[in-house]
């Protein structure tokens, strides 16, 4: 049986390590117990015609399994969950609810968070970035408040940990350590529960190990957790 192949970068700046979206695919594959191979791309290679044939927007990750090629982390996570019957309730209503939260994470919660990343990292030297920050942060705070209110005192959104939780935590981690996220203890505890899962530790350690250059602070801790899981 062939192993699926995903694409990932062989180098990113320190602030992006542990955040590149192949982590989401690695995580669901680890939850499924599915071995996989990685084709590493140097910076710039994602924009070549060969890679754009797999990912039309010149991004990572992609996923190849036999004749099937997918892009977009949400689509890949959903496919792996369906194929391996993992993190997806078997009853139709439960499966729909888990999928609902996967899309909520990507379509409702992630956009303002990425606006914040653009304003504070990628375009921080632009004259329009600083004036936009208060409005962006207000939108993030509103969304996180709404997510926290719906989660309430439950450990996960519906029943057991699902693909909806996996994706929501992957998105919330972009703000990890920020005052905006720590203002919601419910959500910081939620992220901590999810990232304590052995599959997450293995996925994160694998992503960090794939980067060239010095590993970031904390790498040894995650690698050890992945090996022990």
Which pTM does this prediction carry?
A: 0.91
Q: Is the pLDDT of residue 228 over 60?
A: no
Any idea which fold 92-195 has?
Answer: Glutathione S-transferase Yfyf (Class Pi); Chain A, domain 2 (1.20.1050)
Taking the C-alpha atoms of residue 39 and residue 64, their distance in angstroms, rounded to an integer, is: 10
- Over the stretch 133-151, which tens digit does the pLDDT of each residue have? 999 999 999 999 999 999 9
Q: What is the pLDDT of residue 220?
A: 53
- Over the stretch 8-59, which tens digit does the pLDDT of each residue have? 999 999 999 999 999 999 999 999 999 999 999 999 999 999 999 999 999 9
Q: How confident is the model at residue 124 (pLDDT cuts 50, 70, 90)?
A: confident
Phi-psi region for residue 193, left (φ > 0), alpha (ψ -120 to 50) or beta?
A: alpha
Nearest CA-CA partner of 144 in 99, 193, 95, 179? 179
Q: What is the DSSP string of 65-115?
A: ETTEEEESHHHHHHHHHHHHT-SS-SSHHHHHHHHHHHHHIIIIIHHHHHH
How many C-beta atoms lie closer than 10 Å to residue 181's C-beta?
Answer: 20
Beta bridge partners of 37: 5
- Are the CB atoms for 65 and 37 separated by under 8 Å? no
Six token digits for residue 160 = 């057991």
Q: Which sequence spans correspond to the domains of the chain?
A: 5-86+198-228, 92-195
- Over the stretch 195-226, which tens digit does the pLDDT of each residue have? 999 999 999 999 999 997 655 455 455 455 55
How many C-beta atoms lie closer than 10 Å to residue 111's C-beta?
Answer: 14
Phi-psi region for residue 10, left (φ > 0), alpha (ψ -120 to 50) or beta?
A: alpha
Apex CA 167: angle with CA 149 and CA 212, to 5°? 135
Of 4 and 222, the structure prediction assigns the larger pLDDT to 4
What beta strand segments (E) does the chain contain? 5-9, 37-41, 62-65, 68-71
Taking the C-alpha atoms of residue 140 and residue 115, their distance in angstroms, rounded to an integer, is: 9
Q: How confident is the model at residue 107 (pLDDT cuts 50, 70, 90)?
A: very high
Any idea which fold 5-86+198-228 has?
Answer: Glutaredoxin (3.40.30)
**% of the chain at pLDDT higher than 70:** 92
Taking the C-alpha atoms of residue 55 and residue 22, their distance in angstroms, rounded to an integer, is: 13
Q: What is the pLDDT of residue 219?
A: 47
What DSSP designation does 119 have?
I
Q: What is the pLDDT of residue 212?
A: 78
Residues 67-95 have a mean pLDDT of: 97
Taking the C-alpha atoms of residue 105 and residue 114, their distance in angstroms, rounded to an integer, is: 12
Taking the C-alpha atoms of residue 189 and residue 204, their distance in angstroms, rounded to an integer, is: 19
Residues 179-207 have a mean pLDDT of: 97
| DSSP SS3 for 19 | coil
């Amino acid at each position: 049986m062939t192993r699926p192949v995903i694409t990932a970068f062989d180098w990113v700046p320190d602030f992006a390590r542990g955040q590149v979206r192949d982590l989401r695919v690695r995580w669901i594959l680890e939850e499924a117990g599915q071995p996989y191979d990685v084709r590493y791309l140097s910076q710039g290679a994602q924009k070549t015609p060969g890679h754009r044939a797999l990912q039309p927007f010149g991004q990572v990750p992609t996923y190849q399994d036999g004749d099937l090629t997918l892009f977009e982390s949400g689509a890949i996570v959903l496919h792996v969950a369906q194929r391996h019957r993992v993190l997806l309730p078997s009853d139709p209503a439960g499966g729909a609810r888990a999928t609902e939260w996967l899309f909520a994470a990507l379509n409702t919660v992630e956009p303002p968070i990425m606006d914040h990343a653009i304003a504070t990292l990628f375009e921080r030297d632009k004259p329009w970035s600083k004036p936009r920050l208060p409005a962006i942060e207000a939108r993030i705070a509103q969304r996180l408040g709404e997510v926290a209110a719906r989660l309430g005192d439950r450990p996960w959104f519906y029943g057991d940990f699902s693909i909806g939780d996996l994706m929501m935590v992957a998105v919330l981690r972009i703000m990890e350590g920020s005052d905006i996220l720590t203002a919601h203890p419910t959500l910081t505890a939620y992220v901590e529960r999810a990232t304590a899962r052995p599959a997450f530790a293995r996925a994160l350690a694998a992503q960090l190990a794939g980067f060239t250059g010095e590993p970031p602070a904390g790498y040894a801790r995650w690698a050890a957790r992945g090996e022990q899981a």
